[in-house]
């Protein structure tokens, strides 16, 4: 029976191409939509996930990493005095304005780090040295922003002078893979300079990040901080990461929109493949009727149609996966938050099988209702 399925499928090249187009379009669309969702979530909580802290302390009612009210600087001293704290640091994450030489302004998010910070921020340098941000008003920005923040058509370069909120700054390095959920890139700088860049005073801060001592779990330290600082809020890094992702993905409706687009992709694929398979089945009804008249059962005939669909699905899956993986490696260089991990590509195999099985149902039912006597009619 597999030979019959292959011959039927490859006999009509036009219908095969139509089926492949539907499968490739559907699988690639769903993969890229989910890749955008994964990439956006990684960007939304990237600072939290890579910082290396166990507990984050912040002002109450904070919704996510990017939107946080200032709190009094004395919260830092209260937090680090909590039993079980190995070390703690202040951290600034604040929107501000970057002014280019030609007068254009761009929104950025300042990330102010303490000198010799133990936080792993930024987590991948491609040019310059992180330690230079503590001298010469240095700042570090992701390499993908070089064109956008360049001047007169030239990309941003090392040691280039710029201005942030009216204060002088110098680009001392470029990092990689440090994207934000918003269109405002993260800019790393010295903590004191970050206060100036963000318009905050020395009595204010945004976050206090803590590292637990060996033998103290993040959850235990979080509970101790909450008991000690009733005016502030504390989350473990995992909790704050999930809270930030949830806000941007579902609180704003973006995640629901992406998932809706993925569902539409599956529906489109099922419709296109179903129509193609049904058309090919109708053209061969007399052949199926002959096989029925010779004693072939409905189950065997149905498996022929299902195999046709699965063979087309396998071919389409391979092409769609190659296309999606290629786009997943190229588009991030253009600041598109797309991430296509191997696990997603593997999961799409089962989605493809589901599309093919669903698309075969109408054709299989048509053959099941077929009367063998039709082959004897003129």
Q: What is the pLDDT of residues 66-103, one digit of tens each?
A: 989 999 999 999 999 999 999 999 999 999 999 987 78
pLDDT of residue 174: 96
Lowest mean pLDDT among 1-5, 42-46, 67-71, 218-222: 1-5
Average of pLDDT values for 165-171? 93
Lowest mean pLDDT among 252-256, 281-285, 301-305: 281-285
Position 2 pLDDT exceeds 60: no
CA-derived radius of gyration, the chain: 29
Both ends of the chain: CA-CA distance in Å? 28
Q: Determine what percent of the chain is predicted with pLDDT higher than 90.
A: 44
pLDDT of residue 288: 67
Average of pLDDT values for 260-287? 73
Position 180 pLDDT exceeds 80: yes
Position 154 pLDDT exceeds 80: yes
Q: How many CA atoms lie within 13 A of 270 on its CB side?
A: 15
DSSP-assigned beta bridge partners for residue 140: 173, 188
Q: Determine what percent of the chain is predicted with pLDDT higher than 70.
A: 90
pLDDT of residue 373: 58
Give the largest CA-CA distance in the chain. Answer: 94
- The larger pLDDT score, comparing residue 309 to residue 235, is at 235
Please choose, from the candidates 235, 198, 4, 202, the residue with its C-alpha nearest in 3D space to the C-alpha of residue 94: 198
* pLDDT tens sequence across 112-121: 999 889 999 9
240 CB burial (10 A radius; 0-12, 13-18, 19+): buried
Contact 137, 194 (CB under 8 A): no
Average of pLDDT values for 322-346? 86
Grade residue 9 by pLDDT with cuts at 50, 70 and 90: low
pLDDT of residue 251: 78
- The larger pLDDT score, comparing residue 131 to residue 54, is at 54
pLDDT of residue 77: 95
- Indicate the average pLDDT of the chain: 86
- The larger pLDDT score, comparing residue 277 to residue 338, is at 338
Position 5 pLDDT exceeds 70: no
Go through the chain and tell me how many residues it has: 378
């Amino acid at each position: 029976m597999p030979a019959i399925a292959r011959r039927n499928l490859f006999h009509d090249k036009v219908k095969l191409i139509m089926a492949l187009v539907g499968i490739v379009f559907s699988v690639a669309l769903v993969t890229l939509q989910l890749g955008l969702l994964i990439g956006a979530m990684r960007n939304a909580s990237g600072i939290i996930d890579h910082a290396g802290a166990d507990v984050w302390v912040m002002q109450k009612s904070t919704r996510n990493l990017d939107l946080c009210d200032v709190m009094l600087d004395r919260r830092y001293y209260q937090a680090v005095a909590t039993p079980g704290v190995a070390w703690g640091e202040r951290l600034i994450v604040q929107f501000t304005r970057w002014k280019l030489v030609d007068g254009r302004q761009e929104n950025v998010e300042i990330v102010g780090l303490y000198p010799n910070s133990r936080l792993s921020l930024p987590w991948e340098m491609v040019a310059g040295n992180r330690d230079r941000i503590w001298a010469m008003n240095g700042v570090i920005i992701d390499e993908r922003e070089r064109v956008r923040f360049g001047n007169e058509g030239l990309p941003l370069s090392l040691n280039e002078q710029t201005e942030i909120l009216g204060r002088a700054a110098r680009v001392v390095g470029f990092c990689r893979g440090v994207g934000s959920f918003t269109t405002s890139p993260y800019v790393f700088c010295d903590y004191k300079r970050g206060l100036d860049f963000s318009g905050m005073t020395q009595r204010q801060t945004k976050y206090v990040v803590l590292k637990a001592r060996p033998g103290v779990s993040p959850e235990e330290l979080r509970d101790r901080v909450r008991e000690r600082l009733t005016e502030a809020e504390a989350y473990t890094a995992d909790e704050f990461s999930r809270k930030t992702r949830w806000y941007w993905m579902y609180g704003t409706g973006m995640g629901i929109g992406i998932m809706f687009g993925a569902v539409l992709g599956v529906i489109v694929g099922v419709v296109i493949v179903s129509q193609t398979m049904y058309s090919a089945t109708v053209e061969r009804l007399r052949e199926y009727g002959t096989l029925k008249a010779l004693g072939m059962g409905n189950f065997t005939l149905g498996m022929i149609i299902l195999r046709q669909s699965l063979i087309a699905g396998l071919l389409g899956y391979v092409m769609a996966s190659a296309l999606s993986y290629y786009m997943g490696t190229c588009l991030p260089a253009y600041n598109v938050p797309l991430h296509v991990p191997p696990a997603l590509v593997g999961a799409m195999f089962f989605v493809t099988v589901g599309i093919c099985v669903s698309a075969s149902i109408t054709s299989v039912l048509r053959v099941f209702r077929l009367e063998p006597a039709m082959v004897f009619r003129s």
